[in-house]
Amino acid sequence: MAEQYQPSGANAAEIIAGVETAVRDGTLPPGAPLPPVRRLAEDLGLAVATVAAAYRTLRQRGMIETAGRHGTHVRQRPPLTHRGPATLPPGVIGLNSGEPDPALLPDLTAALAAVPTRPSGYRDAGPCPQLAGLARERLGADGLPPGAVTFTSGALDAIERGLSVHLSVGDSVAVEDPCWGNLRDLIAALGMHAVPVPVDAEGPTVEGMRAALRKGARAVVVTSRAHNPTGAVVTAHRAAGLRQLLDAHPATFVIEDDHWAELADDPLHPVVGGTSHWLFVRSVSKPYGPDLRLAVATGDDATVARVEGRMRLGAGWVSTVLQHLVLGLWQDPATEDVVAQARDAYRTRRETLLRELRARGITATGHTGLNVWIPVPHETEVVTALRDRGYAVSPGAINRLRSAPGIRITISPLTDPGEIRALADAVAEAASAPRPGALRR
């Protein structure tokens, strides 16, 4: 069992290798505890500094995390190859994916037919001029400041490259709390520190951002719309407050993530543009399909040049085949209609679930996006209770830094109002059930 696991090794490198192997093969599952540094050093007959160095390296790689008195544990999603997606028990509905509904994604047939049949070579590869030009038009219409444009393999790829070309191991990044779980894990894997910024219905708070900058955050990441997991949207008033604050910190690198893109009902109120270096990222994953692996990234000339330069040393560029495919989708009126229908469908599913939860006295948020966030006192118990009732939901621990506990429900599979009512009943029952082991009076 995980609580009985004992790392071994004659030096720091062997301890590190042993822990990584145990995580990879499942001996140490996510959340599993590791022995305290001093106790492990005594058990292995090593210096405390040797074990501390091993743990420090594992933390820098994003493998483990230390939570004060709660000790050191394996991260919920350590950056190692997974053996495959977790299978759900028969009869359990998966509401924990965070993915769009495949039935609401556009058909690619017409756009594929318009893709050039002769792919580009090394000399001609890079951002497709037609797609870049159309991207500039779309971004400009949304009020984005003029900037260089490039393409990356998804939003997280753009964020990783942006952070890598501006920050170093040990630097701090201000992030929303709760935040997108993948971003939290990425920052840890880069050896950087996440500084939490509270989020309300209007986005990250100005005071929270100010506190993070005072603590030395060199970069900030803001979600424009459809904040994952709360559904918050940065309003005009909040954007103005954040821009005013960031204008006073011109050396701060600002990243803005607009992953909801064409699915958004709310207007965009950009935060970027007032600092020396900035990057605005818009993915095509939610409106058009995650497998397209493309995001538009615009920013100051130096940032975009650095991002492209790093890409050329590795992946090189986003396939021009994919770029032409996205161009075809953007230019197709029928695809635009499909995206509009998806926008309406997601709104209906969210609002129906929120309404049913309110009718049962359950507080929840989800103004926009694919998820509904429900504060609960005890995540593990509620997640387990819902699984017993046939629903797999995400524990908020994946998203949280210091914010209060909660659960995240992805609304994509909720196509039937009757299913939504049954889910709301299950949530109400699970949230009100007595905690296992609690004393009854």
Q: Which domains does the chain have, with CATH numbers?
A: 2-74 (1.10.10.10), 93-102+335-432 (3.90.1150.10), 110-331 (3.40.640.10)
pLDDT at residue 437 in the model: 54
For the chain, residues with pLDDT lower than 50 are: 1-2, 84, 438-441
pLDDT at residue 1 in the model: 39
How long is the chain?
Answer: 441
Amino acid at 340: A
- Give whole-number Cα distances, 137 to 151, 196, 371, in Å: 15, 34, 29
pLDDT at residue 167 in the model: 97
Tell me how far apart the alpha carbons of residues 181 and 77 are, in angstroms, rounded to a whole number.
9
Q: Is the peptide bond before 178 cis (omega within 30 degrees of 0)?
A: yes
**Are 295 and 154 a contacting pair, CB within 8 Å?**
yes
pLDDT at residue 345 in the model: 98
pLDDT at residue 436 in the model: 59
Nearest C-alpha neighbor of 37 from the set 16, 55, 18, 10: 55
Amino acid at 39: R
Tell me how far apart the alpha carbons of residues 289 and 107 are, in angstroms, rounded to a whole number.
10
For residue 233, give every residue at least 6 positions away whose Cβ sits within 8 Å of its Cβ, in sequence order, or none: 201, 202, 203, 224, 225, 226, 227, 266, 367, 368
For residue 344, give every residue at least 6 positions away whose Cβ sits within 8 Å of its Cβ, in sequence order, or none: none
Place of tokens 């970069």: 219
pLDDT at residue 2 in the model: 43
Tell me how far apart the alpha carbons of residues 154 and 285 are, in angstroms, rounded to a whole number.
7
- pTM for this prediction: 0.88
pLDDT at residue 435 in the model: 65
